Structure formats: C-alpha cells, structure tokens
Structure 1
C-alpha cells in the first residue's frame, strides 16, 4: 500500500465518526485510531464513618489543700476560698460588655439580681447571654474580655445572697 492509499484511509476516518479502523491483508496490517483512549474513571461511594464513643465527663477529685507553715491553708487559684462558680455552658468567646465601647455588664462587688445578664459568650456568630440563676454578689471575674472559653470554664465567682 502506498502513501496515497494511507492518506485516503486517514481522511475517511476523520471525515466520519469512526474512532478506530483496522485493515489486514496477506502482506500488511494497518490500524488507525482516532482520539484519545477512553479513560476509565473509578468512583468509590463515601463510607460511613463511625464516631468514637465518648465517655461521659468525669470530674476529677479536687486537689488537696496545701498547708503552709503555721497551719493556715496556702493560697491557691484553683480552689476558691468562698463563693460559687458561674461556668460557661458552651464553648465560645467571653465578652464582658454588649459592645466594645459599652460598659461591662458586671463589676467585682456588684449585686446581681436573678435573670440579670453577667456576660455574653459568642459561639458561631450567636451572642448567648449568660444570666444569673439567683441573686448574688460578684466576688471575682475569672476571664479576660474576648478570651476563648471552654464548656465548664469558670467565668465568675459569686456569693449567693
């Protein structure tokens, strides 16, 4: 087969929608393929992921109070002398005031009535007001403004009235 015949076969393949052409005789074999080889795409369906079992929250026993010389208990930030802890009910960011330029909701020494707002904990762009569950006096503010807090972190120490 000469080059003219091969060109004619190639033109025939390109002018039609034939993608593969083979011709064989006793003397020669011609194979013409058009386009790229088909790609095989493998797709695997997503597998369900088993969530690990989480043990219920266990509170560690409180640390023993260290006794300084003279028999008086040593000062410890972890063990409050008196008062009750107001803890964060969610994970988020602690804010003492409703706006950056506004006055804080509470200060040390302030008497807070039941239902009055202590602070805001922002979680996923939602502002969650933390309210007093009973009448109390603020003894200590345990977190700084705009500080991240975890579930159960102590925000305030209060004295129930």
Structure 2
C-alpha cells in the first residue's frame, strides 16, 4: 500500500467514526488511534516487519561472555507472554532461533512481538514482566 492509498484508507476509517485502525501486509504493519472529541490528537506508529511479528530486533553488542544483547526498539511495556494465562515466550536456558518471538512490547496500545535476530541460548532476561522499557534497553542476552 503506497502513501496515497494509506491516506485514503485513514480518511475512510475516520469518516466512518472508527476509534482505531490497523493494517498489516507481508512486510508492514500500521496502527492508528483516532481521538475522541476533546481528547488527545491522533497517534500513529508504522513498523517494518514480517507478518509473524511486527518488530524484529537486531542483536546488539556482544558482552564479555560472548552473549549478544537483544535491545528494545522503542519505549513501552514489556510482556513475557501473550496473556497472563499463557506460557512465556522464552525463559533462561531455552534455545531460540532467528525470527522466534521473545516477548511483546506494548507501545501506543499496539502489541508488538519482538523477535530474536540471532539463534542461540537465552542466558539472561534483563527485564521484569509488565515493566516499562526504554528505547535501546537490553531485554535479553542470547549466547550464539
């Protein structure tokens, strides 16, 4: 979908009185929330990613023990599982593959699955569940 098509799509949703609009294709995901009268202005977030997960996080620098750091691509709330009743995506000692979902970071009311950019073993989870995370904060350490 090009920008002109996206603008038309947003205008139609807004005119129809939608409070939120989400769009996803093979390599893009878009979410926008429309304000209620007297509320805050429209917010939007666009991310490039595979369909299976909205956000792929590149591994950061290697630590002294050879582990690679998976960092947060934006600010939000960190969740280890898709819902409180579900099992966690990854725990210390798990073997993960490139592209595997490690967690969710909620940003602007959009749940963003964070994938590993490397295959290896989770050696440390650096964030507590349901806590606020910052851009660039280390979420996981993965030893290839």
TM-score (ref. length: structure 1): 0.49
Matches within 5 A, 1:1-161: 81-160=65-144
Cα distance, 1:126 vs. partner? 0.2
Q: Which has the higher strand share?
A: 2
What are the superposed Cα offsets for residues 20-57 of structure 1, whole Å, 9 maximum, x if unpaired? xxxxxxxxxxxxxxxxxxxxxxxxxxxxxxxxxxxxxx
Please list every run of 5 or more consecutive structure 1 residues that lacks an aligned counterpart in the other structure.
1-78
Q: 1:91 to 1:80 in 2, by over 3 A?
A: farther
What are the superposed Cα offsets for residues 46-87 of structure 1, whole Å, 9 maximum, x if unpaired? xxxxxxxxxxxxxxxxxxxxxxxxxxxxxxxxx754311100
Tell me, in whole angstroms, the C-alpha distance in 1 between the residues paired with 2:79 and 2:64. Answer: 22
RMSD: 1.2
Q: 1:80 to 1:99 in 2, by over 3 A?
A: farther
Number of paired residues? 82
Tell me, in whole angstroms, the C-alpha distance in 1 between the residues paired with 2:72 and 2:143. Answer: 17
Q: 1:81 to 1:134 in 2, by over 3 A?
A: closer
What are the superposed Cα offsets for residues 75-110 of structure 1, whole Å, 9 maximum, x if unpaired? xxxx75431110000100000000011110001010
Please list every run of 5 or more consecutive structure 2 residues that lacks an aligned counterpart in the other structure.
1-62
Structure with greater contact order relative to length (CA < 8 Å, sep ≥ 6):
2
TM-score (ref. length: structure 2): 0.54
